[in-house]
Structure 1
Amino acid sequence: MFEEGEHRVSESSTRSATAVAEDPAGLPMVRVENLRRSYGTGEAAVHALRGVSFDIPRGELVALKGRSGSGKTTLLNLVGGLDSADGGSIVIDGVDLATLGENGLLELRRDRIGFIFQSFGLLPILSAAENVGVPMRLRKADPKEREERVALLLGLVGLADHANQRPGELSGGQQQRVAIARALANKPALLIADEPTGQLDQETGLAVMQLLRAVVRSEGCTALVATHDPQLLGLADRVLELSDGEIIEH
Structure 2
Amino acid sequence: MSNEPLVVVEGLRKVYRSGPNEVVALREVSFELFPGELVAVRGRSGSGKTTLLNQIGGLDRPDAGRVVVAGHEVTAMSEESLLGLRRDVLGFVFQSFGLIPVLSAAENVGVPMRLVRMPVAEREERIGMLLALVGLEQHVNQRPYELSGGQRQRVAIARSLANRPRLLIADEPTGQLDSQTGRQIMELLRALVRSEGVTALVATHDPSLITLADRVLEISDGAVREAALA
Q: Same fold (TM over 0.5)?
A: yes
CA offset at residue 42 of structure 1?
Answer: 7.3
Match of 2:77 in 1: 100
- Residues 58 and 75, structure 2, Cα contact 8 Å, conserved in 1: no
Match of 1:18 in 2: none
Match of 1:7 in 2: none
Could you say what secondary structure the match of 2:165 adopts?
A: coil
CA offset at residue 75 of structure 1?
Answer: 0.4
Tell me, yes or no, if structure 1 residue 116 matches structure 2 residue 93. Answer: yes
CA RMSD in angstroms, aligned pairs only: 1.1
- In structure 2, C-alpha distance between the alignment counterparts of 1:236 and 1:80, rounded to whole Å: 20
Tell me, yes or no, if structure 1 residue 224 matches structure 2 residue 170. Answer: no
Tell me, yes or no, if structure 1 residue 55 matches structure 2 residue 2. Answer: no
Q: Aligned partner of 1:127: which letter?
A: S
CA offset at residue 230 of structure 1?
Answer: 1.1
- In structure 2, C-alpha distance between the alignment counterparts of 1:42 and 1:56, rounded to whole Å: 36
- In structure 2, C-alpha distance between the alignment counterparts of 1:136 and 1:46, rounded to whole Å: 39
Runs (4 or more) in structure 1 with deviation over 2 Å come to none
Match of 1:3 in 2: none
Q: Aligned partner of 1:70: which letter?
A: S
Could you say what secondary structure the match of 1:123 adopts?
A: coil
Match of 2:225 in 1: 248
- In structure 2, C-alpha distance between the alignment counterparts of 1:167 and 1:130, rounded to whole Å: 11
Q: Aligned partner of 1:197: which letter?
A: T
Could you say what secondary structure the match of 1:173 adopts?
A: helix
Q: Map 1:1-250 onto structure 2 (within 5 A).
A: 26-40=3-17, 43-250=20-227
Could you say what secondary structure the match of 2:15 adopts?
A: strand
- Residues 27 and 94, structure 1, Cα contact 8 Å, conserved in 2: no
Q: What TM-score does the superposition give when structure 2 sets the normalisation length?
A: 0.96
- In structure 1, C-alpha distance between the alignment counterparts of 2:20 and 2:110, rounded to whole Å: 47
CA offset at residue 27 of structure 1?
Answer: 2.2
Deviation digits for residues 37-72 of structure 1, max 9, x if unmatched? 001167511100010000011110000011111110
Deviation digits for residues 117-161 of structure 1, max 9, x if unmatched? 101000010000000000000111111110010000000000001
- In structure 2, C-alpha distance between the alignment counterparts of 1:100 and 1:247, rounded to whole Å: 24
Gaps of 5+ in 2: none
Could you say what secondary structure the match of 1:40 adopts?
A: strand
Percentage identity across aligned positions?
65
- Residues 62 and 75, structure 2, Cα contact 8 Å, conserved in 1: no
Deviation digits for residues 101-124 of structure 1, max 9, x if unmatched? 111000001111000010100001
Match of 1:11 in 2: none
- In structure 1, C-alpha distance between the alignment counterparts of 2:19 and 2:180, rounded to whole Å: 45
How many positions carry a matched residue from both structures? 226
